[in-house]
Amino acid sequence: MKFITLDEVDSTNAEAKRLAEAGQRGPLWVRANYQTAGRGRRGREWVSVSGNLYCSGLYPHNGSANDAAKMSFIAALAVAETLQTYIPEAKVNLKWPNDVLVEGKKISGILLEGGPDWFVVGIGVNLTSHPQDTELSATHMLDHIEPSLLSGPEPIMSGPDAVLAILASRFNFWRDMFLDNGFAPIREAWLNGAHNIPGPVTVRLSNETFSGDALGLDENGALRVRLESGTIRDVHAGDVFFGSQGA
């Protein structure tokens, strides 16, 4: 696996896309200590102070756009497993479509972008700090590590490079699983980590908000929601709030 480390860049996703447009297909990972124009989902900004992990994987892709979209579930699983190696006692959960929560707070963000025969999976993980005043409350990894463990003979956390090494290897594991066995094992593992499903949910789309019961994922990763009327709606994109949050 090839790793490119930069001190500062506009966005690791933008950098990985430039590499793709210049003919590279990866697999490779770009990591930067600091991003000047970190991007989030739906045109939002991703605040990028140094100390946290900002990285993007570039991979070849010869499947459908639907298959590329499934890579964000793979990334979320890889992030959750990576966090669990550092903070095994903490409650790590997955929130549709691709957020990772620690003790109910957002710790990571995933932004998937694609070309005709490649995709870039951008991953931010809060390690040493998290932004304030976010819509969903946030946290960072260091906050869940016992201070006494940080000064022992074996360092429990050794910076974003070490975290990326584990993350990239878990991403490759689940991507290989997908290439060999399809989405079913990914869907099952993801649902195991998503403890709010089944459960009440409010979905906010660009032009409407509705509530119902989240039942699970369809075979493409859409969130299956049963409305009060009994109608089932498959949600392909949107913001999801559990319980009465965001209603």
Residues that bind ligand BTN (CB under 6 A): 11-13, 35, 38-41, 44, 46, 54-56, 109-111, 122-124
- Identify whether the C-beta of residue 20 lies closer than 8 Å to the C-beta of residue 43: no
- The least CB distance from residue 118 to ligand BTN, in Å, is 16
- In whole angstroms, what separates CA 39 from the centre of its chain? 13
Rounded to whole angstroms, how far apart are CA atoms 178 and 203? 28
Q: By C-beta, is 33 or 56 nearer to ligand BTN?
A: 56
To ligand BTN, the closest distance from the beta carbon of 98 in angstroms equals 8
Name the residue nearer to ligand BTN (CB basis): 126 or 212.
126
Q: How far is the CB of 50 from ligand BTN (least distance, A)?
A: 13
Helix (H/G/I), strand (E/B), else coil: 1: coil
SS (H, E, C) 131-164: CCCCCCCECCHHHHCCHHHHHCCCCCCCCHHHHH
**Closer residue to ligand BTN in complex, CB, 35/139:** 35
Residue in the shown chain whose Cβ atom is closest to ligand BTN: 109
Distance of CA 84 to the CA centre of its chain: 14
Q: Which is nearer to ligand BTN, 13 or 196 (CB)?
A: 13
Nearer to ligand BTN, 135 or 176 (CB): 135
The set of residues, in sequence order, having a beta carbon less than 8 Å from that of 91 and lying 6+ positions away, is 102, 103, 104
* Vertex 65: Cα angle to 216 and 20 (nearest 5): 130
User: Helical H runs in the chain?
Assistant: 12-21, 65-69, 71-86, 160-181, 184-193
Query: Which stretch of DSSP H or E encloses residue 118?
Result: strand 118-125
- Least Å distance between CB 44 and ligand BTN? 5
Smallest distance from the beta carbon of 45 to ligand BTN, in angstroms?
9
Cβ proximity to ligand BTN, 55 vs 168, nearer residue: 55
Closest CB 46 distance from ligand BTN, rounded Å: 4
